[in-house]
Amino acid sequence: MSINGIPLITIDGKPTSLLEYNDKVKLIVNVASRCGLAPQYEKLEKLQRAYGDRGFTVLGFPSSQFLQELSSAEAIKEFCTTTYGVTFPMFEKIKVNGRSQHPLYAELTKTPDAHGKAGRVKWNFEKFLVTPAGEIHRFRPTVEPDAPEIIDLIEGSLTRSANELRTSRPAGPLVGGDGDRNR
């Protein structure tokens, strides 16, 4: 199943889906303001600023499942903006595990990590890198957002996307009546 059509709600209450980010390399992260890993917000924002204009975005999904997220969307937004200067898209609070697990995470958690383990999200700040081609790569919470394995995947995916875009364009305008392209 493609994750792109799964309905989502932004932190501001606007309905959307990943189709809005279909052509981007996406780093999907379950976040929590009161978690000891919350300083990862700073590195996530650095990635957003470094690669955002090249076809990359971080997507933050607050979750209270580990009892470390603020209670309201307004409080979460204020914390993220004032503490870490977050500019990347944030979404409503969701459940990442269990019977009420959000459909996005039901799909993402089927992906194994580097050790071959799929299933439940272990903690806040678990990361899923999704390429425009739909490849999903999973990183556990202790893998920092700027870890070489994440940076390499981001840069490789952005290069591949740029090359695919270039090769899908026509070589140039037709000239003359014989159909030859510019010489």
Amino acid at 96: V
Active-site residue set: 35
Question: Which of 98, 85, 92, 104 shows the shortest CA–CA distance to 11?
Answer: 92
